[in-house]
Chain A
Amino acid sequence: MTTNKLQVSVNVNGEQQDFLCEPRQTLHEVLRDVLGMTGTKEGCADGNCGACTVKLDGRIVDSCLVLGPEVQGSEVETIEGVASSDGLHPIQQAFLEEAALQCGICTPGFIVAAKALLENEPDVDEARIRHWLAGNLCRCTGYDKIIRAVLSASDKIKEA
């Protein structure tokens, strides 16, 4: 019996992963259900909330809008790759200190998105952060403490 599954080889958080997936499975589904990496969350599955944000070949994307087979040969970074064995990333630490999460479901998406911002633009202000993060919805915090966390992380990263 033949399968319509395709073999995909992709670098996820610095490790090579090989898996099979159907053409209709999104990267989001593959990460969660095939690779068991449930840190990337689902909010809407149609690209409108950013809960599924990952970094793909240097750009942040909604993983629900990318098909699994599309990432053949690419580099993907997910929330699971943000902390290192040395500890939390300054953004993660800032989220904790500023209480920038309440239910936490949107938090992985925000952290991946904010990390990409601060990697590209070390000097950011409130307006720039709000603009960059407009694709990530949060319903609990009203964004105030999230913005403060990103500002704080930006300062910490510059000091280091």
Chain B
Amino acid sequence: MATTDFRVIGTRPIRHDGTDKVTGRAKYGGDTAAADLLYAKILRSPHAHARIVSIDTSKAAAHPGVKGVITGMDLPELGPGTIEVGETPSVNAMQMSTNVMARTKVLYKGHAVAAVVATSVHIAEEALAAIEVQYEVLPHVMDVRESMKDEAPLLLDGQTTTSLGKDTGKKSNIATHTVFEIGDTSKGFAEADLVVENEFTTSPTHQGYIEPQSAMVFWNSDDEITIWTSNQGPFGVRTNTALLLNVPLSSIKVIPLEIGGGFGGKIPVYLEPVAALLSKMSGHPVKMTLTRTEVLEATGPTPGSYMKAKIGVKNDGTIVAGEAYLAFAAGAFPGSAVGAGAMCMFTPYDVENLHIDAYDVLVNKPKVSAYRAPGAPQAAYAVESVIDEICGKLGMDRIEFRMKNAAKQGTRQVTGVPLGSVGNVEMLEAVKNSDHYNAPLGGPNRGRGVASGFWFNAGMQSSATLQVNPDGTVAQVTGSVDIGGTRVATAMQAAEVLGLEAHDVKPVVADTNSIGYTAVTGGSRTAFATGWATYQAANDIVKQMKERAAKLWETDASDVEFDEGTFTRASNSEQEFTFKGLAARLMETGGPVVGKATVTPPGVGAGFGHHIVDVEVDPETGKVDVVRYTAFQDVGKAIHPSYVEGQIQGGAVQGIGWALNEEYYYNDSGVMANSSFLDYRMPTSLDLPMIDTVLIEVPNPGHPYGARGVGEVPLVPGLAALGNAVTNAIGTRMNQLPMKPGKILSALGEIDN
């Protein structure tokens, strides 16, 4: 389909929820209130690894103003069963419950141990201090390689290594070892003229959403549980809370509030089951909000890693083989996205011979969560750094190299699955011809780096209903929380079908009793899949309204055509109704018209990105300034270009923070020393230039308007782009993140670090 022939798609209407958000009227997770509301707080482990010997809550329970106390023993024991937690492997339900509150052991500093509910948040905090916990401190292990050794202290009783799909029976912190392979790498490397390999380490980093997790829960006297929460997936909250509390699914209703950022980190449940139990105990609605320290220490960051990458090429730049070793630190329970990282890292390249060993490893850190293309940024950092080194050694232009080896439609990934229609080559051409790529560096101590990245994006289930109002506007109901402009992006798709303006469609995000099952807002799926749902629901409206026009014209529906918002009689083009005109006649012709759809669309469009960054390094302080940044991405079709640009800019800046400053800095006791926004240093406006974006539009044939998911790809290339830029500036390969000033000075030989 043409990508330019749309009326609404591709324009930039003001988002429907915008006015409420710029006036402070929109209600987010922490903005709830209720009569007789109580407040709960969680007591957390001060130790990285310890056995819980005893917990005495009696003094806390007796504290004036306290209405209930629980420990992990108040959560039900669960049978076998897994919980979906977004784009990371599904989790054993009992492990998820134990992460919500510890039972016999604490596995990281900050692990929840007990909770108190009281008439004020201050009284709840006082009462926490009155809970007496006896711990037997155990040795802890924080480094992924240390944890893989036989002598490492073991975190979970009964945890054995599953290697290549089979349980080895060996007790270990290595939860899984997976292999991905195509072709024959020994044959491939034997044909190489040049082989480059390197090893890399990255630290855990946090999604950094500005809004901490917050929920209000009421367990009423007839055992109906209502949850008000800001989470990326209300239906997931329903499923997971029901599972953890061992109550029927139908007893829970989740009302989504506006959400202050997620990036994958607000898919798991942390608070809801705890607040629910305290509500049951006290008979009141209970509200809980995490502090920033709790967010950093006890919600899931993305894993730290140790990686090796080895690539063999011919002198003309053809890649003949690639090999990688990925060890990701999953935290206290298994389930890092090391597999996803492995599946994406080589995908920008057409390589016949690949072998990847991927390890998911436990350490005494919080259990990791998804973070925007989880696993792929780390793994791309390794591959794109080695490619950078290869290009340097061959004296080959970095884009020419990528074009020579470019993955395209039909190229097999390391899984053997061929790529569908993708825009990698078109994107690389745009990079090659761009102003930034061809501009001089413009100063001393500067360097330029480039890197590619890939994410496959998700489809999954979405539902939509559309109700035609008598004035010709349409109410749209979906289950997709709006984190970054998806109300407007989905409404635009319905408007396009119906010949309406974006603001004639009124989008609402509904609770779990009011709309069909809808998967998370995440996975870069919402504009694609919920868009498909609104598109189909709109077409359902058109079909029904054709029948109404037929009634009014006393003909049959096959005699009615619809185009650009007008119904015309095929056999007599003098007879026509505008959408609004026909909407006014619905009551008299049979009643209201409601269109509906539920979809699990195939045809997901995968995405490629490429970033160029110029940096300036201060040789005295080691500080890195980002002086110019351009992010290219194949977006299929930008439904609302401003919000597509926004996704790219935001992801690029998270990559800058990750590459230059962000890390979990642990002391010798396994305690995070920088668990506040002061020292967990995310980029501010002063740290950055404008982030230029170039949207490449190779339409995805799997979507009516050509859309691909766009939200996650932007975080994938940045780590390597910055690593390559700093390397270019200082002349030494940077293979550890973050590249903070001390590391730069050490690489420059100025200090020992």
Contact = CB atoms under 8 A, between A and B. Distances in A.
Given A142-B649, A143-B688, A102 B23 contact: no
A46 B685 CA distance: 19
Q: Could you say which interface size class chain B belongs to?
A: 35 or more
A141 B649 contact: yes
Interface string A65-97: 000000000000011101100001000100111
Nearest to A79: B24
Interface string B677-693: 11000111110101100
A45 interface: yes
B653 A130 contact: no
Given A42-B212, A97-B14, A101-B18, A78 B23 contact: no
A99 B210 CA distance: 18
Contacts of B204: none
Contacts of A97: 14
Which residue, A45, A46, A99, has most C-beta atoms of chain B within 10 A? A99
A42 B483 CA distance: 17
B408 to A, nearest CB: 30
Interface in A123-152: 126, 129-131, 133-147
Nearest to B654: A139
A76 to B, nearest CB: 14
B650 interface: yes
B65 interface: no
Interface in A93-127: 95-99, 101-108, 111, 126
Contacts of A108: 22, 24
A102 B485 contact: yes
Contacts of A137: 210, 677, 682, 684
A30 B509 CA distance: 30
Nearest to B37: A33
A81 to B, nearest CB: 9
B260 A105 contact: yes
Contacts of A42: 30, 211-212, 289
Interface centre among B207, B649, B650, by most A CB within 10 Å?
Answer: B650
A95 B642 CA distance: 12
A35 to B, nearest CB: 11
A95 B210 contact: no
B628 interface: no
Contacts of A82: 23
B122 interface: yes
Nearest to B287: A33
Given A38-B24, A101-B22, A142 B691 contact: yes
A114 to B, nearest CB: 11
Interface string A41-58: 111111011010000000
Contact of B649 (A24, A36, A43, A144): A144
Main secondary structure of the interface of B (DSSP, over half): loop
A40 B24 contact: yes
Contact of A41 (B207, B211, B263, B683): B211
A88 B23 contact: yes
Given A39-B23, A80-B24, A130-B685, A144 B483 contact: no
B704 interface: no
Nearest to A93: B22
Contacts of B289: 42
Nearest to A132: B685
Given A43-B212, A142-B650, A99 B15 contact: yes
Contacts of A80: 23-25
Interface string B462-504: 0000000000000000000001110000000000000000000
B514 interface: no
Contact of A104 (B26, B208, B652): B26
A18 interface: no
A36 B23 contact: no
Contacts of B33: 36
Contacts of A25: 122
A22 interface: yes
A96 B22 CA distance: 8
Contacts of B261: 103, 105, 139-140
B15 A96 contact: yes
Interface in B17-33: 17-19, 21-28, 30-31, 33
Interface in B202-227: 207-212
B677 A48 contact: yes
B411 interface: no
A143 B14 contact: no
A37 B557 CA distance: 53
B436 interface: no
Interface of A: 22, 24-25, 32, 36-46, 48-49, 51, 78-80, 82-83, 88, 92, 95-99, 101-108, 111, 126, 129-131, 133-147
Top 10 nearest A-B pairs by Cβ distance? A39-B24, A105-B260, A142-B653, A99-B642, A104-B21, A79-B24, A48-B677, A142-B649, A38-B31, A134-B686
10 contacts: A32-B31, A46-B678, A51-B210, A79-B23, A92-B23, A96-B14, A137-B210, A139-B263, A140-B484, A143-B683
Given A22-B122, A92-B23, A102-B483, 4 more contacts: A41-B210, A102-B646, A134-B684, A140-B646
